[in-house]
Structure 1
Amino acid sequence: MDTELLRTFLEVGKTRHFGRAAESLYLTQSAVSFRIRQLESQLGSPLFSRQRGNVHLTPAGERLLPYAESILQTWGRARQDVSLSENYMEQISIGASAGIWELSGISDWINASHNTLPEVAFRIESVSRQDIVRALLEKSIDLALLGDPPKVEGFRLKQVASFEFKLIATQPDIKFSELPSIPLTYLDWSTRFSIEHARITELQKTPLLHASSSSVVVNFLSANQGMAYLPEPVVSKHIDSNKLFLVEDAPAMEQSLYLCWNEDNEKSNIISQLSEIPFELRTASDD
């Protein structure tokens, strides 16, 4: 299958408009329409409902979507692997959710990994929590950083860090008893975190913002009144600079960070070496 057909399908699916997709792909609208017809012919199913002013995916198109994304990601990785220069023996793909990549100290570990294995090329990818296990099973990533340890046969797991989530607010001297009157912002971090969050009665309300990125939550709180539980390696510098404030009598939530990989991966020797590299998250006071 021509990967350009899939790329065009994803762009039309994202824009819901053949004209805008054509502009993004630097094609004519007729070329975009022709590619979609080709793909539909190969699959034997219509992928888009083409009502005037309302282009949307059919059920068949919705089913194709994750496969198209996976195929293009795998194809891109294959091209990089094949074209590795003689200076590099192997490429390792590391996946994590956007929120985990924001933790202070992650970049230090990647730099240390490069220094320890200079003959390895690294590919860093953002993968949603829901897709991490599938990506490891399909080997579209070699190694994952995650907060929820998956219980999958054949997976190796190593705890590499622990840290706390702390409740912060946009105003100083907030007491725990005042929480029901303060707007809530929620960071979608892990299953364990969501369970612990749900146990706090004072936080059971509809959040003004629900996001998977710590920086998005911090930026939102910087412009609005409210509170949120955030990982200390992300929020400590904002507390130290008095931009956000700790709710002193609120309970802290212990969280862990794990490295996870598929034992069946042919790069397991390199992955094992990476798992031995010291991992240390940083807070503002550590800098």
Structure 2
Amino acid sequence: MQFQQLLYFVAVAETRHFTRAAERVHVSQPSLSQQIKALETELGAELFSRARGNIALTDAGETLLPLARRILADTDTARQEVQELVQLRRGRVRLGATPSLCTGLLPDVLRAFHDLHPGIRLLIEEGGSHDLVRELARGALDLALVVLPLPTPSPALTTVELLREDLVVVSSAAASAPAPGRPVRIADLREQPLVMFRHGYDLRELTVAACRTEGFEPQFTVEGGEMDAVLGFVRAGLGVAVVPAMVAARAGRDLRVTALARPGLRRTIALAHRSDVAPPRAARELQRLLMSSRPGPHAEP
């Protein structure tokens, strides 16, 4: 009994027609009929009644049909499982993340993932949450790390909260502290020159909104940079910046890190993927690693 014979048998059983079954499995009708006859000979029983041109299952055919379907389904499952294992050796993962997460969260996680799966190519796209949501929706990314709430909530995306992270104020270690001896209040930023991220940065929107809640518009000395540029401008003494605690922890001794006074500012990071398409195996492995590697002291699950 051959796999191909079972495939042809199920096709005839479901179409009740030899010619249509042959078209369905992409073989000639004589070849299909020959294989069905060979299967019947091996089993010692007719599988179809062909009276008056009508194709019907015999008792033997009725017995074989659910077994054949199960064998074919198990074969498909085995093929898929093997393909997924192959993906873990030479697949790829397309991951989107905000620039601050690329600086703070991802380096250690991606290093651990690469150590486990050195054959997987990691394609990283930096962008704001709005851009990443759009790229996910059009299938250009497998996963994305985004800031909640999403700028445009979408039922087409599934999001799982990954961590909640405090924001802090960074200033040049060579300059005066923004609030000597105490945490920085949002109101203190009224008198501080700010180094500000470009438009579309989640951190920009969060900081500006907090200042407006306190009744003032923040004053920018430099604006429009990415994370590394902002930190560089702060080191040069051009102003202070509000950044994630994980980024500040990696910033180096030439930057002073000061907490924000309660209630402070916090952002929620989530892992997102499309709801209608399961991520590839390699992407699911990275997802598992991200969920099990939530950062420690500066984040709150």
Partner deviation per Cα, 1:27-50 (whole Å, 9 max, x = no partner): xxxxxxxxxxxxxxxxxxxxxxxx
Tell whether 2:161 aligns with 1:162. no
| Counterpart contact for 2:171–2:235, Cα < 8 Å | no
SS at match of 1:208: strand
1:281/1:198 Cα in 2 relative to 1: closer, same or farther (>3 Å)?
farther
- Counterpart CA distance in 1 for 2:259 and 2:293 is 28
With structure 1 as the length reference, what TM-score do the two structures score?
0.57
- Counterpart CA distance in 2 for 1:225 and 1:86 is 48
- Counterpart CA distance in 2 for 1:149 and 1:119 is 34
- Counterpart CA distance in 1 for 2:134 and 2:100 is 19
Cα offset for 1:117?
A: 4.5
Tell whether 2:146 aligns with 1:142. no
- Counterpart CA distance in 2 for 1:86 and 1:241 is 42
1:169 is aligned with what amino acid? Answer: S
Tell whether 2:197 aligns with 1:184. no
Which protein has the larger Cα radius of gyration, Structure 1 or Structure 2?
2
1:194/1:174 Cα in 2 relative to 1: closer, same or farther (>3 Å)?
closer
Q: 2:287 maps to what in 1?
A: 275
Q: 1:205 maps to what in 2?
A: 218
- Counterpart CA distance in 2 for 1:194 and 1:201 is 11
- Counterpart CA distance in 2 for 1:282 and 1:216 is 26
1:172/1:126 Cα in 2 relative to 1: closer, same or farther (>3 Å)?
same
- Counterpart CA distance in 1 for 2:124 and 2:166 is 25
Alignment of 1:220-259 (within 5 A): 220-238=233-251, 241=253, 243-246=255-258, 249=261, 252-259=264-271
Cα offset for 1:268?
A: 4.8
| Counterpart contact for 1:183–1:207, Cα < 8 Å | yes
Partner deviation per Cα, 1:174-200 (whole Å, 9 max, x = no partner): 335654332122233255555334323
- Counterpart CA distance in 2 for 1:89 and 1:178 is 52
- Counterpart CA distance in 2 for 1:282 and 1:252 is 19
1:257 is aligned with what amino acid? Answer: I
Partner deviation per Cα, 1:3-51 (whole Å, 9 max, x = no partner): xxxxxxxxxxxxxxxxxxxxxxxxxxxxxxxxxxxxxxxxxxxxxxxxx
Q: Where in structure 1 are there 5+ consecutive unaligned residues?
A: 1-84
Q: 1:264 maps to what in 2?
A: 276
Partner deviation per Cα, 1:41-89 (whole Å, 9 max, x = no partner): xxxxxxxxxxxxxxxxxxxxxxxxxxxxxxxxxxxxxxxxxxxx99845
Cα offset for 1:128?
A: 3.8
With structure 2 as the length reference, what TM-score do the two structures score?
0.55
1:96/1:197 Cα in 2 relative to 1: closer, same or farther (>3 Å)?
farther
| Count of aligned residue pairs for this structure pair | 197
Q: Where in structure 2 are there 5+ consecutive unaligned residues?
A: 1-85, 180-184
Structure 1 stretches of at least 4 aligned residues deviating more than 6 Å after TM superposition: none
Partner deviation per Cα, 1:134-154 (whole Å, 9 max, x = no partner): 211111111101113432113
Identity percentage over the alignment?
Answer: 16
